[in-house]
Amino acid sequence: MAFDLKFRKDITQLQSDAAHSTDLKRTLGPVNLVNLGIGAIIGAGLFSLTGIAAAEHAGPAVTISFVIAAIGCAFAGLCYAEFAAMIPMAGSAYTYAYATMGELFAWIIGWDLVLEYAVGASTVAVSWSAYVAKFLAYFNVHLPTAISMSYWQTPPGSAEHGLVNIPAMIIVFAVSLLLIRGIQESARANAIVVFLKVAVVIIFIGLGFAYINADNYTPYIPENTGSFGHFGWSGILKAAGMVFFAFIGFDAVSTAAQEAKNPQRDMPIGILGSLVICTILYVLFSYVMTGVANYTEFAGVAAPVAVAVEKMGISWLGPAINLAIIAGYSSVILVMLLGQSRVFFSMSKDGLLPKLFSDSHPKYKTPWKSNILFACVVSLFAGFAPIAIVGEMTSVGTLFAFIVVCLAVLVLRYKEPDRPRPFKTPWVPLIPVLGILACGTLLVSLCVSDWMHAARLFVWLGIGQLVYYFYSIKHSKVRKAQA
């Protein structure tokens, strides 16, 4: 039966395969991995969600919301770190599920992750295009709507429709070509981008402290208006659920485990280190932003950081922040496309997908055919699709992956309690259970608020089941080995 849990990958064999694999180069150190995590985490969450969460739910106490979200995310991060150190293979949650809960669960989570990364990269590419247009406008260069927006987009205050979002398509292809060139080259480019955007964030924080008006923090926790989630402590929790999605990029770090020099030591550093650094930056950034401008001024504003910058009256900071956002989105796209190709690489190596997805370039040792295919698909989606409708699917897919990884830690601790673990999740079963509850609550609330999120996920998983039953089962290497 396809659902039979006996079709699992042997962890000892996985560890042996990881030690002797030559398909991908092991060139990433702990600093590279931390940079990958920061590259994926610092993006729209910092520059957009902060203002929305403050204006609509938490007020200045959005800083508390970030701390709560970080604690919840840390539960999943600790579980990821245990598996990434123990099974240093590309594939992230897909590989962990294959080793603990069987092939079908692995297929479901792998197929889900691919949707997550594809939709996420497309969505961020569209936002990247919008900020590029805004940056060029500082220098009186204006991109025509027809080539800078899809048909589903219209400029603010205009009924004019776009045709194709060419800048969004260009950035997807440019990043994909960089990924084909090599993981080390991609990591270097990502490090430069991360340095740039973190520098601008720190400059904003450092300069902003001088412009803080203490009156903007009174009251620090605005009184609840009578409805759940609208200020008060329920508003802080509601905002925590919103800003939680600002942290979810760290799971992409685990997809690079097969390219880490010393994964047993470096993967936990990369995952947890990027989470800690980004939490500190998020809290400080939100504290300064809500101190420079009153939280009510962020209501209905698409670029809330611009409001704070205007209050500071520093003319050059506006373009600099805009450039940091462009850089931030570029690195997010890079890490998402990296994660997407590595998940399909692992699924292909297991026989669940055609071989082209795991063909390595003879010189660069990267899954170049997979990168090219995804560049075409994701760029078309970014150029033409109604991204706003499906953007939150990224969060749905990631939360689902978090739940699976937390559950997998519990399963493996029960099945193989004595297996050596270079990094052990502390306080098991408490930490994994808290991770499942936290992520499950957010996933349910997201789907309840818009049932179409769940519907789209089930349609995608349904397509995946057809591929699995008509192709993957017949070509599964695990099934053939056990036949």
Domain of 261, in residue numbers: 11-17+25-482
- Residue 5 maps to a domain: no
pLDDT in the model for residue 5: 61
- Residue 6 maps to a domain: no
pLDDT in the model for residue 157: 61
Q: Is 470 exposed, middle or buried (0-12, 13-18, 19+ CB in 10 A)?
A: exposed
- Residue 448 maps to a domain: yes
CATH no. for residue 388?
1.20.1740.10
- Residue 351 maps to a domain: yes
Q: What percent of the chain has pLDDT over 90?
A: 23
- Residue 314 maps to a domain: yes
Low-confidence ranges of the chain (pLDDT < 50): 1-3
Is the bond preceding residue 429 a cis peptide, omega within 30 degrees? Answer: yes
- Residue 3 maps to a domain: no
pLDDT in the model for residue 265: 87
Please list, in sequence order, all residues whose beta carbon lies within 8 angstroms of the beta carbon of residue 165, skipping any fewer than 6 positions away.
Answer: 125, 126, 129, 147, 148, 149, 150, 153, 382, 383, 384
Number of structural domains in the chain: 1
pLDDT in the model for residue 2: 43
- Residue 264 maps to a domain: yes
- Residue 4 maps to a domain: no
Q: How far is CA 51 from CA 54, 59, 228, 383, 395, in A?
A: 5, 9, 19, 27, 19
Give the Cα separation of 128 and 122 in Å (integer).
10
